[in-house]
Amino acid sequence: MNGKQQIGWGLIGASTIAREFMVDAIRAQAGHEVVAVMSSSAERARQFAAENRIAAAFDSLEALLADPAVQVVYVSTTNELHRAQVLAAARAGKHVLCEKPLALSVSDALDMVRACDAAGVVLATNHHLRNAATHRKLRELVRAGAIGRPLFARVFHAVYLPPHLQGWRLDKPAAGGGVILDITVHDIDTLRFILDAEPVEAVGMSQAAAMAKQGLEDGAMSVVRFDNGVLAQLHDAFTVRHAGTGIEIHGESGSLIGRDVMTQRPIGEIVLRREGGEERIALQHEGLYERGVASFGVAIGGGGEPAATGRDGVRSLAAAIAVAEACRSGSAVRIPDLPL
Ligand code: NDP
């Protein structure tokens, strides 16, 4: 793609995440513009377009994909719709940035990766936490041996689902609701990134304490074993107002403590604790979504991989599905070695 040309984005889904973060993140890139939006409701599409100064509004996927101004798409509909929309975008030759979880099953997510490969388009997953200065620094420090061999990780991601998001996540199993597909999947992706390791087995328990209905969970605690031996403890919830978020990586010779790091915003801090004392690590915060879109822009220009690839999306989903299955069954669940 010619760097001087405008890269036109089509939004598939008039969603909250698009409105609150992604439209701005796309426009923050030189040469990128949001040129179209598609909703299942013509009225919602028109309203979203007007509020966000987007030229074209569609109520059909085919119409958006046929718009010659659209070269890439961002898919942020509810989760059950991602697969068919990504397959259609790939058929139309559009690069795709798709929201997590990529799909509701591993086989659907694999179909998405294969379709994009076959069409020669880039598929990226919007696992934004990889782009945080905090998590990038944690990865760098672990790789540099700052804590010796990593043994354990703990993720604190029990938060309060804000009222304007208290919809399908809580009462629509068919849309991929529940805290595990919403939040645990992010924890797993972040740990895969920091540890450079793959999850192999999961156990867990979940609860429906206050908000979730229809068999969905609004809280979960799980333990995931990685192929480098690390045991990771994950605490995720929609129901907890005051816990704060964090991540800890504990190694043979030191511990990395991250606070306020499981978030959409460029905030948080990291402390390295080892013999001789405690050191606060310097960080240069940057917008997480902006950085993710920037890496996607480089990837569609042939310059490398996006921050989280389609394959990352599949692997992180497979582990989240294993956690969900472990919570349902009460048994340990193996995470399959995927044909990727
Ligand atoms: P929303 O509920 O805001 O949007 C999802 C869909 O709901 C939209 O595509 C829209 O359908 C429909 N919708 C929106 N408003 C209304 C309304 N007033 N009445 C009826 N339907 C409506 O979801 P989110 O933005 O929270 O999540 C969307 C996707 O993004 C999910 O896959 C989620 O997992 C992911 N996500 C990722 C985050 C990240 O940090 N990576 C953060 C938040 C979400 P239509 O398009 O047809 O109008």
Q: How many CA atoms lie within 13 A of 134 on its CB side?
A: 28
Residue 77 CA: nearest ligand 1 atom is: 9
**Residue 275, phi then psi, degrees to nearest 5:** -55, 135
Is the CB–ligand 1 distance for residue 131 below 6 Å? Answer: no
Question: Per-residue pLDDT averaged across 147-173, rounded?
Answer: 98
d(CA 50, CA 56): 9
pLDDT tens digits for 270-310? 999 999 999 999 999 999 999 999 999 999 999 999 999 99
pLDDT tens digits for 233-254? 999 999 999 999 999 999 999 9
The mean pLDDT value of the chain amounts to: 97
CA of 208 to the centre of ligand 1 (A): 22
Is the CB–ligand 1 distance for residue 40 below 6 Å? Answer: yes
Among residues 302, 318, 326, 292, which one has the least CA distance to residue 130? 292
Here the tokens at position 94 are 């559009």
Is the CB–ligand 1 distance for residue 245 below 6 Å? Answer: no
d(CA 121, CA 309): 12
Which residue lies with its CA nearest to atom 28 of ligand 1?
A: 76
Is the CB–ligand 1 distance for residue 46 below 6 Å? Answer: no
d(CA 187, CA 189): 5
Q: Is the confidence at residue 4, as pLDDT, over 80? A: no
pLDDT tens digits for 102-126? 999 999 999 999 999 999 999 999 9
**Residue 130, phi then psi, degrees to nearest 5:** -60, -20
d(CA 177, CA 285): 31
Is the CB–ligand 1 distance for residue 189 below 6 Å? Answer: no
d(CA 159, CA 172): 20
Is the CB–ligand 1 distance for residue 256 below 6 Å? Answer: no
CA of 249 to the centre of ligand 1 (A): 32
- The confidence score (pLDDT) of residue 3 equals 44
- The confidence score (pLDDT) of residue 1 equals 47
Is the CB–ligand 1 distance for residue 209 below 6 Å? Answer: no
Residue 76 CA: nearest ligand 1 atom is: 29
Q: Is the confidence at residue 182, as pLDDT, over 80? A: yes
Which residues are within 8 A (CB) of 93 and not within 5 positions of it... i.e. 6 or more apart?
119, 120, 121
Domains of the chain: 7-127 (3.40.50.720), 129-289+318-334 (3.30.360.10)
Residue 168 CA: nearest ligand 1 atom is: 2
- The confidence score (pLDDT) of residue 5 equals 76
CB 236 within 8 A of CB 184: yes
Q: Is the confidence at residue 74, as pLDDT, over 50? A: yes
CA of 13 to the centre of ligand 1 (A): 7
CB 230 within 8 A of CB 197: yes
Question: Per-residue pLDDT averaged across 27-44, rounded?
Answer: 98
Question: Per-residue pLDDT averaged across 38-61, rounded?
Answer: 98
Is the CB–ligand 1 distance for residue 136 below 6 Å? Answer: no
- The confidence score (pLDDT) of residue 153 equals 99
Here the tokens at position 333 are 């669940």
Is the CB–ligand 1 distance for residue 126 below 6 Å? Answer: yes
CA of 94 to the centre of ligand 1 (A): 21
Q: Is the confidence at residue 36, as pLDDT, over 90? A: yes
Residue written as tokens 């798709």?
98
Q: Is the confidence at residue 54, as pLDDT, over 70? A: yes
Which residue lies with its CA nearest to atom 15 of ligand 1?
A: 15
